[in-house]
Amino acid sequence: MPKKKQPEETPKKSNPNVMGLHAQVVDQEITDTLEVNFMPYAMSVIVSRAIPEIDGFKPAHRKLLYTMYKMGLLSGGRTKSANIVGQTMRLNPHGDAAIYETMVRLSKGYEALLTPFVDSKGNFGKVYSRDLSYAASRYTEAKLAPICGELFRDIDSDTVDFVDNYDSTMLEPTLLPTSFPNVLVSANTGIAVGMASNICSFNLEEVCRTEIEYLSDPECDIFATLTAPDFTTGGEVIYEADALREVYETGRGSIKLRARWRYDKKENLIEIYEIPYTTTAEAIMDKVEELVKTGKLREISDMRDETDLTGLKLTVDLKRGVDPDKLMAKLMKLTPLQDAFACNFNILIAGTPKVMGIREILSEWTAWREESVRRRVFADVTKKKERLHLLRGLGKILLDIDKAIAIIRETEEEREVVPNLMIGFGIDETQAEFVAEIKLRNINKEYILKRLEDIQKLEEDIADLEDVLKNRRRVRGIIKKELENVIKKYGQPRKTGIVYPHEILEPEESAREDDYPVSVFFSRGGYLKKILPQSLRMSGEQKFKEGDGLLTSFEARNSGELLVFTDRYQCYKTRLSEIPETKASALGAYLPTQLGMEEGENALFVCDPRDYAGSVLLLFENGKAARIALSAFETKTNRKKLTGAYSDKSPLAGFLPVYQDFEAAAYTSDGRCVVFSTVLLAPKTTRITQGVGVVTLKRGRTAVELKRLEDTHIKNVSRYRVRAVPAAGAILREEDREEQQLSLLGGEGDA
């Protein structure tokens, strides 16, 4: 029995808005929303925006270059960049700023590509500078670089497909028929939805040589001809065979890069003149400045950016007696002077993104290029056959030229000339049209003989071209010849050098340099002092701000970490080596500023986690205490802040690190004290645990302080000691109060 059709739900209408319009709200499954709305957007970004295709270009690159080609900028002079940008908007309607940024990246002046495609004039910025921005498009000029002749070779010979532009007013190519594997020569980066692409650049000559070898033997040794990536900023590639092999074979992996430098012994300075492609001069300067401020870099007296029209130059002034090789080894480790390029060879193949190794990329490019050459040859064959067809018709006429003249002369109407020639000589309409258009001056013996010779030449050419179409080896021979021509005309030496790991001076372990004892003092106001033992011995009384005082102190190692707990239930992590050293007479580092805390956030307690094997004991104002394992605060990554570091159900009243069990004293606002052993509290791995009751409080009373028993002035310990918690404790006697002890000490001192 058929199911009864359910009545359709009437869409709910929202209240009219201020414009008097009504919006309909329709219930829809989230999966349907993703499929209908999000997936088309994601696919558009992947296919039409961010991922390069086999010709090495994204759509934005292709539209810009093709516009410049149609403007005649391959052979003509430069024109204003604003003019080019405006013309490109006929193909790329995404705003002039986006188009100009694309043009900047392709330009010679920006130096992002080993083979720039835009011959630029004016300020186009620099890829190695974050702050040196390009001039506006109205001030700069550009044209196509000569190598673009290889991009548009035979583009009008049906080598690639053409499609309508966004408003169907003109055609644009889907790919550019590049005669060399530009996909490996030009560096390309793109972030799509759910995927990305990051292709490093290789030397043009090496890529072409590798492709030639591949055409001869698909199983050739790629490493023999394609040594390593090559970058416009120079520097050096650290040649790690296994890492490079992974990149070459899978299309994923990391390649280490390092800067190039020279030492001026006379001036005692280092000049850094080439840096990794992945960083900028400003990023290096900022990192060095940070290291100097935190005391990790004491060998440098000054560093300047002396980049000018001659190129990049970062100058480092050394202090007397500093070994430049050891300093640079240290800088390579601590700064972006040594960096890594994360490879992700994700390329669109027939509209589908695919991550490929070098050999697979060459295979795909070869197949695509073979098809382009075949299409070009087929177009040539078609044109020659059409020409041959016309000349054969002319040949028939030339056998009896007088008859042809008579037919034309005796025809009364012009429109009957072509049909009469077709009937008189048995030729088709196309041939008759061609004959009818011959000028009278060309009806001579020389013209006739030359045309007959053309027939023979065309027949030979057509036979040869048809053989090319049938013979794959001949097609590959054409590709090889074009690649050799590219090498001859545009080949350049490598810019990026190659260095092997065994040639690199390893820096001394920073842990050893930083691993020395320090004394740490933390005040109630949030100031932290890190003092060297020798400085502490020579110093006098600890200085604090008025109203402030010492909260805790401990011995630690400079290489160790420090946990800082705040009143916003957060924990900040830092290394003691990042805290500047000070003296007892100074206030020290103000932790909220030092650690970049939120506005109004205060540091409450600090802890040396050592090897994260112990725990921390937290006393809350509600009388509960939580013992949390330090391992709960350990992180695999270098996270600087942990939110939800402890329970937010009650404010924090006391804090103690527990490396081994001891007795602790908890004080309350009504003058009571409870002495208990930390053994009674089992460590928890959950940071936000509320703990268990330790002090039983009367209404309106709170816990106020937590101390180790050995740090208190309690004499009658048995009076306050409990065997189980929670407990109410006992009221402190005068002799057990700290204030009494302090007054007695003061009296002795006065006496």
- Single-letter amino acid code for the residue at 430: T
Q: 195, 51 in Cβ contact below 8 A? A: yes
DSSP conformation class of 113: -
Structure tokens at 214: 């591949």
In the block, which residue shows the tokens 């270009």? 57
Listed residue (650, 659, 590, 671) closest to 627, CA to CA: 659
The whole-angstrom distance between residue 313's C-alpha and the CA centroid of its chain comes to: 24
Cα gap 313→271, rounded to integer Å: 6
Q: Is 138 exposed, middle or buried (0-12, 13-18, 19+ CB in 10 A)?
A: exposed
- Bridging pattern class, strands 236-238 and 497-499: parallel
Secondary-structure breakdown of the chain: helix, strand, coil percentages, each rounded to the nearest 5: 35, 25, 40
Q: Is 688 exposed, middle or buried (0-12, 13-18, 19+ CB in 10 A)?
A: middle
- Single-letter amino acid code for the residue at 172: E
Q: On the CB side of 543, how many CA atoms lie within 13 Å of its CA?
A: 11
- Single-letter amino acid code for the residue at 304: R
Catalytic residue, chosen from 41, 139, 500, 659, is 139
Q: 414, 437 in Cβ contact below 8 A? A: no
Alpha helix (H) ranges present in 154-237?
182-185, 204-216, 222-225
Structure tokens at 569: 């239930």
- Bridging pattern class, strands 672-677 and 730-731: antiparallel
Residue 348, number of CB atoms within 10 A of its CB: 18
Dihedral Cα 698, 704, 705, 709, nearest 10 deg? -20
Structure tokens at 20: 């008097």
Q: Peptide bond preceding 726: is omega within 30 degrees of 0, i.e. cis?
A: yes
139 is catalytic: yes
665 φ, ψ (degrees, to nearest 5)? -120, 125
DSSP conformation class of 581: P
Q: Is 674 exposed, middle or buried (0-12, 13-18, 19+ CB in 10 A)?
A: buried
In the block, which residue shows the tokens 């401990």? 554
Structure tokens at 96: 């002039």
Structure tokens at 156: 């009008």
- Return all residues near 86 (Cβ < 8 A) that are at least 6 apart: 96
Q: Is 577 exposed, middle or buried (0-12, 13-18, 19+ CB in 10 A)?
A: buried
Helix (H, G, I), strand (E, B) or coil at 55: coil
336 φ, ψ (degrees, to nearest 5)? -70, 10
Q: Is 97 exposed, middle or buried (0-12, 13-18, 19+ CB in 10 A)?
A: exposed
Cα gap 643→635, rounded to integer Å: 13
Cα gap 336→128, rounded to integer Å: 12
First to last CA, the chain: 110
- Return all residues near 327 (Cβ < 8 A) that are at least 6 apart: 270, 299, 300, 316, 318
Cα gap 101→512, rounded to integer Å: 47
**In angstroms, how far apart are the furthest CA atoms of the chain?**
148
Dihedral Cα 698, 700, 704, 706, nearest 10 deg? 20
Active-site positions?
A: 139
